[in-house]
Chain A
Amino acid sequence: MSETALQGYLALSALIFTLGGVGIMVRRSPLIMLMCVELMWSGAALALITFARHVGNMDGHIFAFFVMIVAAAEVAIGLALIVVLFRRREEVDADDIQQLRG
């Protein structure tokens, strides 16, 4: 992989990750926030694959699969929580969910 391609992939990875991070901080809907978390996972996985291709090692690919598996499990739990939240409340705003504050 050429140096230019590497930089392009890494830039895309960083962009996706940052999009997800900013999304978590600025959006208030739990569903969107969950999707943003998925974006961050994807950005990280892309960086792993990029580097794996760059050094010609399979480890990064395997890691990316693990990330996808964990992300799928996380989405399953997160979605379940969000569905319960939607059932209990008309409108859901992450800032209103603060019963556990210290």
Chain B
Amino acid sequence: MPMQSAPVLALIIALPLLGALLAAWNRNTWSRRAIAISSSTMVFGAFVATVIALIQLSGAEGQVLGFELVRWGPWGDIDLSLGLLGDPISLWWSIVVTGVGFLIHVYSAGYMKDDPGFGRYFAKLNYFVFAMSLLVLADNYIFVLIGWANVGVASFMLIGFWNYKPEAASAAMKAFIMNAIGEVGLILANVLIFVNFGTFKFDGVFNQVSGVSTEVLTAIGLLLLVAAVAKSAQLPLHTWLPDAMQGPTAVSALIHAATMVTAGVYLVTRSHPIYLGSETAMQAVAWVGGLSALFGALVALRQTDIKRVLAFSTMSQVGYMMLAAGVGAYTAAMFHFMTHAFFKALLFLAAGIIIHYLNGEQDLRKMGGLGRKMPAVYWMSLIGVVAIAGIPPLAGFFSKEEILHAVHAEGLTFLYFLGIVVGGMTAFYMFRLFALTFAGESYEERAQQTAYRSGKKNRRTEQAQEAVHHPAGPEMLIPVGVLTVLSVIGGWISIPGLTSVPQNFLGTALGRYTEWHAHAMSYGPELILILAIAIAGAALALYQYGPQGAWRRIEIESAEKRSTGLLATGFYLDSVYQTLVVRPVLGISGFIANWTEPKVVDGAVNGLARLVQITGDTLRRWHAGLVRRYALVVFVGVAGVLAYVLLMF
């Protein structure tokens, strides 16, 4: 593929890295304002650099942009040239990562205002943007692996940001360990790629795909899928994502909703020539995606923690993207990635404002009545909820529609209807979240009423409760507002017959692979069915969880109880992994720690020490300091030697 050199690509990864180093070095000396401005500026700079790269790409007449960073070799016929690639796929991802990343940096300046780890936070957040940019801009699988591992580290550090909380620390470890499984898959895929293609570079690999057997392509595709499943929180390696909500909410918005969890979709999209050579791998991707979409939506129905609802929703939506990638509808997957980044970041940031306002309360059953207190957040959340529910004319409708249409066109009828049903469930759980948060009476009002009824009203606690609310400042509201606008208009870039921006733009990178999914939309009865199910889900949620709703009352009354049941616990998968994996591993570790270590390892060391000690104790008796005995020994020895010599020779 002809390539045009573009040093500006290096700027996209260099600026956030610089910001991370600046924030880390100066975290104790610079003021909070200075750190926030420096870090946000760096990410904004990366965003501007991406825009410049896009302009250069549009003028490059079919060429792609590239920039070589490292060259290893040549050693014999191995010549590793590692660098950055600016083709439509990577720049599409990069513009969302840096754009949404910048908004969330600004938001974080307000959200983390009072946190003692302010500088540390921004250093890690910038580091994440650097790692993610490296991952999506890589022109070879080695850089993908490096970026992949680094976003994992950034995710680990940011989930465990409040490291004094044991839940946060163990959630960070869980995410890291589950992602390690995926990294093993990615490393093995890299090995297979190098063995079979002799290069790590994308264009080199993809040009030779036709000369490699289907079995090899299937193996590589499935190994890449393992990596994608772990990073994108798909079945069955998704359990780290809900726990990852222990991190600050802005982190959940950036890493665990908008960007990092879609890295799996990126990997599959980027490797599409490999997948298109293996029907098995394609099917696996589609089924993993479809089942994850269903699973996430089912579990989200009964979650009581606002962030866990959004986490399972993310799993479900990324499942849609995987489903699209699995049927070869890569433009639809990437389009949904972008719209999802907008409305899911919006919903997370709005949830952050609510949590901030309620001083850390995340339980939906203890919310309510916030619509009157926060009208701006109310309206912005409503737009986000409608967008994710797939109701036109907001963004989610267009991207989800495109995916479902592609699945239908591929003839996967079961997954197609599954996708429609999940759409209805999405509308239901999002409107449930919305109604529980904003409608009806607030937790305090309900508590007061209970107190009135039982006749003991405590003025002091009431005042204390009123005092702890933290309203959001402009630096938090403006990014949410921008995302709201994007959630409204984001879908309009791909209206059939009017605009086809993703198809035209990405088509050059995906080449012939987009052709069989000519941009179109379901029409007639299908469209009505999809919309009717989504609206029915929304209506049911609003009816049952509205101010007078029956299910609302049931849930609120159980607010002090721990949720049990299949859905609330996520089909007990955490317990299953606990029993099948964690316990046996801990048992083996315990056996090694309590038996092998003291008996075998310590036994060998201590035994050797005892042997030396006993030998020494025996021999030291000969050195009693008695000169006459020494003389005796010498004489006896000499006599012995003499006797030996005389007798033997």
Contact = CB atoms under 8 A, between A and B. Distances in A.
A101 B625 contact: yes
Contacts of B620: 102
A24 B636 CA distance: 13
B558 to A, nearest CB: 79
A24 B626 contact: no
B628 A101 contact: no
Contacts of A33: 627-628
B619 to A, nearest CB: 8
Nearest to B619: A102
A21 B635 contact: yes
Contacts of B632: 25
Interface string A76-102: 000000000000000000110111111
Interface residues of B, number: 11
Contacts of A100: 625
A101 B624 contact: yes
Nearest to B626: A95
A95 B628 contact: yes
15 contacts: A21-B631, A21-B635, A24-B631, A25-B635, A28-B628, A33-B627, A94-B626, A95-B628, A97-B625, A98-B624, A98-B626, A101-B625, A102-B620, A102-B623, A102-B624
A21 B627 CA distance: 13
A28 B631 CA distance: 12
Contacts of A25: 628, 631-632, 635
Interface residues of A, number: 14
A27 to B, nearest CB: 8
Nearest to A98: B625
Nearest first, the 6 A-B pairs at minimum CB distance are A98-B625, A101-B625, A102-B623, A102-B620, A24-B631, A94-B627
A27 B632 CA distance: 12
Nearest to B624: A101
| Most chain A C-beta atoms within 10 Å of own C-beta, residue among B622, B626, B627, B635 | B627
Interface in A13-58: 21, 24-26, 28, 33
A97 B624 contact: no
Given A21-B635, A99-B625, A102-B622, 10 more contacts: A24-B628, A25-B635, A28-B628, A94-B627, A95-B626, A95-B627, A97-B625, A101-B623, A102-B624, A102-B625
Interface in B593-649: 620, 622-628, 631-632, 635
B630 to A, nearest CB: 10
Interface of B: 620, 622-628, 631-632, 635
Contacts of A24: 628, 631
Contacts of A95: 626-628
Contacts of A97: 625, 627
A102 B624 CA distance: 6
Contacts of B628: 24-26, 28, 33, 94-95
B633 to A, nearest CB: 10
A90 B408 CA distance: 115
Contacts of B624: 98, 101-102
A93 B620 CA distance: 22
B635 to A, nearest CB: 6
Contacts of B627: 33, 94-95, 97
B554 to A, nearest CB: 86
A99 B627 CA distance: 11
Contacts of A99: 625
Nearest to B620: A102
A101 B629 CA distance: 12
Nearest to A22: B635
A34 B632 CA distance: 15
A100 B624 CA distance: 8
Nearest to A21: B635
A85 B511 CA distance: 104
Nearest to B623: A102
Nearest to B639: A21
A21 B634 CA distance: 10
A24 B286 CA distance: 99
A25 to B, nearest CB: 5
A21 B631 CA distance: 8
Task: Choose among A97, A100, A101 the residue with the greatest number of B CB atoms under 10 Å from its CB.
Answer: A101
Contacts of B625: 97-102
A98 to B, nearest CB: 3
Contacts of A28: 628
B192 to A, nearest CB: 65
B643 to A, nearest CB: 15
A33 B626 CA distance: 13
A101 B623 CA distance: 6
B616 to A, nearest CB: 9
Contacts of B631: 21, 24-25
Nearest to A101: B625
Contacts of A98: 624-626
A97 B624 CA distance: 10
B183 to A, nearest CB: 59
A28 to B, nearest CB: 7
Contacts of A21: 631, 635
